[in-house]
Structure 1
Amino acid sequence: MSKTINILNAKILLNHGLFEGGIHISFGKIKKIGKKTNLPKAEETIDCKGLIALPGLIDSHVHLRDLNLSYKEDFYTGTCAASAGGFTTVLDMPNTVPPTDSIERLKEKIELAKNKIVVNVGFHVLPPKNPNEIDKMVKLGAKSFKLYFNFLKNEDLKSNILKETLKKCVSLNIPLTIHGEDGEKINKIKNLFLNKGKKDLQSFLKAHSKEIEFFGVKKALNLIKKEFKSNKAYFCHISTLKSFNEIKRNCFLIEVTPHHLFLTEEKLLKLGGTALTLPPLRSKFEASALWRKTVKGFVDVIASDHAPHAFEEKIKENYWEIPPGIPGLETTLPLLLTKVAQGDFSLQKLAKLLAYNPSKIFNLKFKGELKEGFDADITLIDLKKRFKIESEKFFSKAKYSPFNGFKCVGKPIKVIVSGKLVMDEGEIVAEKGSGSILTN
């Protein structure tokens, strides 16, 4: 690997807009941004004529699986998918098998990942059974503590362990990430249908209705307003306007996904299990309302919620047995760039939601901006490149997508992570294990 690199002839997205020039990289850091004639000499040059340089994009909600679920995805295939999709950093969710709910489990995950990853990887964790481990998990790199209200029982919300976790998160300035569906109500409705022998899609959707999301959001808000004295409560994959407005009324953070922005329940009814997500796809009204909120600047983060599964699992007849989730790392950026190309969105807003905001919320130092002294994480795009999404060509092990066949305008062409070229023209050119584990 060259110690110094010059990125030349790119249009560089800075805070004030696009600047035509170059970036000098030295030992993995951005040392100089300027005109070609003002850049120091470098061992290697990369000509990026016709490309736009964005801050290295961050996906703060991915499921890289591995461990006992490596047949669905592993750290290598997942981070290759991330790089192919234009991401330089991903944050992995903790609901693995086994779950990331202790210092030992987090260490195990880090040890497994570091020899496989090709981009930067950080880890969300679950509250440990022993609150004394919280400080150690944060020191080791935990980026948030995740609460799945779709699994929490009412008595769990009163536990001293949970209260201690929330207090520790506040004192350590660590976000709380939240899946906002009401698990008790879900199970009640689910059991009613199971007792009647109903296992169809409509029964599943009634158990995961927009009201169920709102009840879960309200339950989460009641807890955090009482026990979590911080504004760093981050609600994942919000899918309805009512939930959105309730969270913003209380001044907390909201993440939305491309599938909730650009797909509707019609796609789910057509495709069935391969388009099943949690929360499920909603009506055209809800998707349009969320997109308007995004364009107007009320959304904090867009994340893929990349959740790959084996295809055989997604086509079961019993919808209660179908694992929810779709691959999203390789579709998120092209879908948003298409909106930019159409004039419905801006690169500045895209970079804010996919780089700057995640870096600030999850304490990712020296990331999120193209700035001298920051890490040389750079996503280079061709905003005029036309192509069709072909899920069978994904780097992810999940070779299906409800976006399959979508025509896009705008594509990631090169990805640089810590000064190393990782993806070039759709090919992964970095060595396995060349990525970095994010610490605090």
Structure 2
Amino acid sequence: MKTLICNAQLVNEGKISTQDVLIENGRISRIDRQITAPADAKVVDANGNHLIPGMIDDQVHFREPGFPNKGTIASESRAAVAGGITSFMEMPNVNPQTTTLEALEDKYVRASKGSLANYSFYLGATNDNLEVIKNLNPNQACGIKIFMGASTGNMLVDNEDTLNAIFANAPTVIATHCENTPMISALEEEYRAKYGDNIPMNLHGEIRSREACLASSKLATELAIKHKSRLHVLHLTTADELYLFQKNKQLADLKGANITAEVCVHHLFFNDKDYDTLGSLIKCNPAVKKASDQLALIKAVQDDVIDIIATDHAPHTWDEKQNESYFKAPSGLPLVQHALVSVLEHYHNGNFSLEKIVQKTSHAVAERYQLKDRGYLREGYIADLALLDLNKPHTVTKENIRYHCGWSPFNGYTFQSSVIGTWVNGNHMFDGERIINKQFGERLVFDR
């Protein structure tokens, strides 16, 4: 099948240029000015809109297996594709947890039968599955996920010897959730003594404190430098942590480690003032913090201290999120449908260039995880594409939310841009209004 996308503004590798793109057999076969359409090609006129490599989201929780009331690989990948996300990497805290090679392969089978986007999965670390981690084929998983802050079940890895062994022996990228659990637990008890179970939601960022984040991020970077590990620190939330990545990137280069950092779209978009209107809807771990932290994170993206922008998409049901008890209202929010357009708000506000957004949402993810033939608009590369209309506002409503959970923290917000087309492996999946193709995505392949 052939498709010619003509009259597009390509945003790729630090440049914007007017080009046509010819897709054949799922790959970009030619990029040039005024390509003549083959007789058997479908022609899509971009009308001067911007064509980018699809967003690659390296941090999602699609809730399968185990929590179909919250979401499934099928439901959440549909929402992702409608949001211009063409590939995702999914986390291990499901049921059963993805902490064995058998559970890992089971998720690939599930995705092959339901995911509209391309997919890969993390192997989860525990205090007692070191041998499983050592035996992992580097191409079998996108990475190894370590919860260095509390998580579900037994996935908190807090044994010092185990952490050292994982950092010393991991055959692939280590992705960490960095929060110090004892520090958080002490603050929970302190605030419980004062407020009971009904702690105000706007204190969440004080309980999941900046000190707890910094202590854990510092430990992770120190371990990576000690063992020459490949470390990716997920969802930074504080100004305090950023110096680690300015300092340790240089030190890591000298010591043979490889350290990168990430911010999530909601930490760029919201700050602690938003708890007053959104409450538990923006309760997440690590927490949304102060406006000063939000501004520092934005600047860190501008200055390339932060390498990647992702979502940490984590849906819960509406009823669960309405729980008034601070301790019973779960942490996490659905984001994949609106992630890319929320980052584009920073373009409209003058914070990020389009080239910077593409670098952080696609190019850098492909490089960090060593994806094969994805993440760029290049001849010979797989055609994972998103077409953006930067002048087509749309308002998020209950009727147009595609998440299985049926709600969004952006409900009622009018974004200035829209995703008007998504191609996955060359297949035109979304036309700006509807999912128009049921072709399943592919298992991501790594060049490791």
Tell me, yes or no, whether TM beats 0.5.
yes
Once structures 1 and 2 are overlaid, which stretch shifts more, 234-243 or 249-258?
Answer: 249-258
Once structures 1 and 2 are overlaid, which stretch shifts more, 180-189 or 300-309?
Answer: 180-189
Aligned residue identity for 1:317: E
Secondary structure at the counterpart of residue 142 of structure 1: coil
1:250 alignment partner in structure 2: 248
Q: For the structure 1 residues 328 and 311, does the alpha-carbon distance in structure 2 shift closer, same or farther, using more than 3 Å as the test?
A: same
1:302-313 counterparts in 2 under 5 A? 302-313=309-320
1:171-210 counterparts in 2 under 5 A? 172=171, 174-194=172-192, 198-202=196-200, 204-210=204-210
The answer to whether structure 1 residue 126 and structure 2 residue 133 are counterparts is: no
- Deviation, 1:163, is 3.7
1:217 alignment partner in structure 2: 217
Once residues 174 and 104 of structure 2 are traced to their aligned partners in structure 1, the CA distance between those partners, rounded to angstroms, is 17
Partner of residue 413 from structure 1, selected from 414, 420, 434 = 420
Partner of residue 279 from structure 1, selected from 283, 286, 292 = 286
Secondary structure at the counterpart of residue 261 of structure 2: strand
Once residues 218 and 89 of structure 2 are traced to their aligned partners in structure 1, the CA distance between those partners, rounded to angstroms, is 26
| CA offset digits 1:352-396 (Å, max 9, x no partner) | 000000001011111111000100111111111111222552111
1:145 alignment partner in structure 2: 144
Once residues 242 and 26 of structure 1 are traced to their aligned partners in structure 2, the CA distance between those partners, rounded to angstroms, is 48
Once structures 1 and 2 are overlaid, which stretch shifts more, 13-22 or 128-137?
Answer: 128-137
Q: For the structure 1 residues 11 and 409, does the alpha-carbon distance in structure 2 shift closer, same or farther, using more than 3 Å as the test?
A: same
TM-score, L = length of structure 2 = 0.90
Aligned residue identity for 2:441: G
Partner of residue 317 from structure 1, selected from 312, 324, 330 = 324
The answer to whether structure 1 residue 378 and structure 2 residue 385 are counterparts is: yes
Secondary structure at the counterpart of residue 322 of structure 1: coil
- Deviation, 1:406, is 2.0
- Deviation, 1:13, is 2.0
Once residues 354 and 16 of structure 1 are traced to their aligned partners in structure 2, the CA distance between those partners, rounded to angstroms, is 13
- Contact 2:146 2:157 (8 Å CA) reproduced: no
- Contact 1:181 1:216 (8 Å CA) reproduced: yes
Partner of residue 401 from structure 2, selected from 394, 411, 420 = 394
- Deviation, 1:229, is 0.6
2:333 alignment partner in structure 1: 326
Once residues 42 and 156 of structure 1 are traced to their aligned partners in structure 2, the CA distance between those partners, rounded to angstroms, is 60
| CA offset digits 1:70-94 (Å, max 9, x no partner) | 1101011110110111111111111
Once structures 1 and 2 are overlaid, which stretch shifts more, 313-322 or 196-205?
Answer: 196-205
Once structures 1 and 2 are overlaid, which stretch shifts more, 249-258 or 85-94?
Answer: 249-258
- Contact 2:178 2:216 (8 Å CA) reproduced: yes
- Deviation, 1:196, is 6.6
Once structures 1 and 2 are overlaid, which stretch shifts more, 368-377 or 270-279?
Answer: 270-279
- Contact 2:59 2:310 (8 Å CA) reproduced: yes
The answer to whether structure 1 residue 167 and structure 2 residue 183 are counterparts is: no
Query: Please, what is the CA RMSD of the aligned residues?
Result: 2.2
Aligned residue identity for 2:401: F
Once residues 38 and 430 of structure 1 are traced to their aligned partners in structure 2, the CA distance between those partners, rounded to angstroms, is 25
Q: For the structure 1 residues 42 and 351, does the alpha-carbon distance in structure 2 shift closer, same or farther, using more than 3 Å as the test?
A: farther
1:434 alignment partner in structure 2: 440
- Contact 2:265 2:310 (8 Å CA) reproduced: yes
1:18 alignment partner in structure 2: 16
1:156 alignment partner in structure 2: 159
- Contact 1:257 1:302 (8 Å CA) reproduced: yes
| CA offset digits 1:212-249 (Å, max 9, x no partner) | 211222232333333x313x311111111111222332
| CA offset digits 1:246-272 (Å, max 9, x no partner) | 233211311111211121111113322
Once residues 156 and 440 of structure 2 are traced to their aligned partners in structure 1, the CA distance between those partners, rounded to angstroms, is 41
Once structures 1 and 2 are overlaid, which stretch shifts more, 92-101 or 212-221?
Answer: 212-221
| CA offset digits 1:6-55 (Å, max 9, x no partner) | 11222222335222231111111111111224565543222222321101
Aligned residue identity for 2:197: K
The answer to whether structure 1 residue 45 and structure 2 residue 43 are counterparts is: yes
Aligned residue identity for 1:91: M
Unpaired runs of at least 5, structure 2: 250-258
Aligned residue identity for 1:157: E
- Contact 1:56 1:367 (8 Å CA) reproduced: no
- Contact 1:23 1:39 (8 Å CA) reproduced: no
TM-score, L = length of structure 1 = 0.91
- Deviation, 1:125, is 1.8
Secondary structure at the counterpart of residue 242 of structure 1: coil
Secondary structure at the counterpart of residue 147 of structure 1: strand
1:12-161 counterparts in 2 under 5 A? 12-15=10-13, 17-37=15-35, 41-127=39-125, 129-134=128-133, 137-138=136-137, 141-151=140-150, 156-159=159-162
Tell me the number of residue pairs that the alignment of Structure 1 and Structure 2 aligns.
Answer: 430
Once residues 361 and 16 of structure 1 are traced to their aligned partners in structure 2, the CA distance between those partners, rounded to angstroms, is 18
Unpaired runs of at least 5, structure 1: none
Aligned residue identity for 1:156: N
Identity across matched positions, percent: 26
- Deviation, 1:194, is 4.7
